[in-house]
Structure formats: structure tokens, C-alpha cells
A and B are shown apart, each in its own frame.
Chain A
Amino acid sequence: MSIMGQTLEAIKTILAANTTINYNFTGYYDDFVAEDYPAICAEPDTGQSLLGNGLNFNYDDGGKAKVYYVEEAPENRDMTAFIGKVDSLVEIIKQHPRLDGTLNQGVNITVKYMRRGPSDNIEFIAMILIEGRNYYDNL
């Protein structure tokens, strides 16, 4: 199964259902251009599968994905509202700890506020790194 595709879709669906996202993109952040704000860029990172044969045959899927949340920066560059918004996005993900069953063993969420690079427009960028595992038994 493609855990990466399902995980990215699940994250995008959960966020879109619980907050306003006006532009969605799946792909590398290096190629990402926000056509509207707020925007989300879901970037695949690492997918892994672990097969084990113990008493029962089971396996683990692991996934790591980066979700970039991008908003237009105001003229005074004050980040207070933006930080609040990113915190609320993390809360939304926490309300769906299994990410719609794609990472049913729980997830690890890391947020990193990025300084905009030379190729970015006048915007605030937060990278939400999501890592998790999916466990199957008796398959």
C-alpha cells in the first residue's frame, strides 16, 4: 500500500475540513508557489515498511511527511496571529491522532517556523513535520 499517498491525503483532508485552506499543493516545497492564502504544501519525506514474522505475522509501515503552512505576511511582519494559527493547526491534528487510520500507532508532530528564503514571497512559513507508524496484525 502507499502509506505516503494516504497519509498526505489524510492530513490535507483533516486540515481542510477544520480550518480555511484556500490553496492546496502536493509536492516539493522548492517548487511550491502559493496561488492563494492560506496555503498548504504537503511534501512527502520518507516512507518505510518493516516486516516481521513473530508468533503472528505482522508488519509496520512508517511515514514521515512535511506540511508547510503559508500565509501572507502583514506589513509590520508581526507573527502573533500566525503563531496562534499554527498552534491551532497542531491542535486539529491532535484531535485526529490516528490520522484517519493511516498512522494508527500515533504521530509525532514537530513545528518549525522558517525564515523565508530568497525565492519565497512576502509570507510566513511554518513547517509541520509529521512522523508516525502504522501497525497491522494477522494479515
Chain B
Amino acid sequence: MLDLLQALESKLLSNITALDKIRPMTKFNQLKPDEAGPGFDKYAICHEIVTDHKYKNRKGKFETPFFLNCYSNVSNGDVAVIWFISEVKKVLDEADLSNANIKTYSVEYDESSPQPEFNEVLQAWQSVIKVTIRWREL
């Protein structure tokens, strides 16, 4: 699972130049602008594992849906986040995250809530995308 998260993060970071930080939901606080740090610059993603179950009842093969919470704190963030999620969709839908550690059978964009919402904690606009990844460890 850690290898999959790494593959997901590096895929997004290397394909979307505007993306500043990508963090798991457990490290959401690192995106907050406070004494500990400046938060993030323009665009960030927080990924969240929804569930994890067996794929086709086969040992070692998994189907794992993810929520990708996309944030933007630029001046017109509500519009910018709509552009941002379309970029994430373009990169991830039908992508291949296979590398030396994992093999992905399918990466599919499921749904999103394109209507931006304001996140008070981050002082940024946000929108959520759901993708499902089928994969196995090598």
C-alpha cells in the first residue's frame, strides 16, 4: 500500500507542475498556514483511502478507491480549483502507475464534486475527486 501511495504521489507531482504539496489525510495539518509552516503554495492535494478490498477474489490483488481532496488558495481559487481538478482527472484517468514495486491493472476516475467549497481551516477552495485503483504488489 505504501508503494501505491508513493506511485500515486509521484505521478501527480511529476505531471502537474502547479501542484505544490501532496499529503495523506493524516498529515492534513501540514497544509495549514500557521506557526509550524507557511502551508502550501497555490495548489495542494490531500489523499484519503476510502476502502481496500480484494479484487476478483484473488489473493494479493486489491481494489482501492481514493478520495483526492484538491485545494487552491490563489486569489480566484474557486475558479482555479475547477481547472485544477480537471488537470488531476486528465493525469489519473486511465493512467498506469506500475513501477518496480507495484503493478496497476486499472486507474479509473469515478466521480467528483466540481462545485468548489471554501475550506475555513486551510483558507482555500476545495473540490473532491474519487478514483479507483486496482493493483498488486510485485
Q: With an 8 A cutoff between CB atoms, is B106 at the interface?
A: yes
Residues in A neighbouring B52, C-beta threshold 8 A: none
Interface mask (B123-134 → A, CB under 8 Å = 1, otherwise 0) = 000000000001
Instruction: Count B interface residues, CB 8 Å.
Output: 11
Chain B residues with CB under 8 A of A32:
56
Looking at chain A, what size class is its interface with the partner chain? Answer: 10 to 19
Would you call A137 an interface residue if the criterion is a C-beta within 8 Å of the partner chain's C-beta atoms? no
- Return chain B residues, CB-CB under 8 Å to A35: 103
Give the distance to chain A from B123, nearest Cβ to Cβ, in Å. 38
A90 within 8 A of B: no
B51 within 8 A of A: no
Which partner residue on chain B sits nearest A34 by CB separation?
A: B105
Contacts of B57 in A (CB 8 A): 30-31
A residues 91-125 in Cβ contact with B at 8 Å: 119, 121-122
> Dominant SS at the A interface?
loop
The complex places the Cα of A35 from the Cα of B134 at a distance, in Å, of 12
Are A31 and B94 closer than 8 Å at their CB atoms? Answer: no
Q: List residues of chain B with CB under 8 Å of any chain A CB.
A: 55-58, 61, 94, 103, 105-106, 108, 134
What are 16 A-B pairs with beta-carbon distances under 8 A? Answer: A30-B56, A31-B56, A31-B57, A32-B56, A33-B55, A33-B56, A33-B58, A33-B105, A75-B94, A119-B55, A119-B56, A121-B105, A121-B106, A121-B134, A122-B106, A122-B108
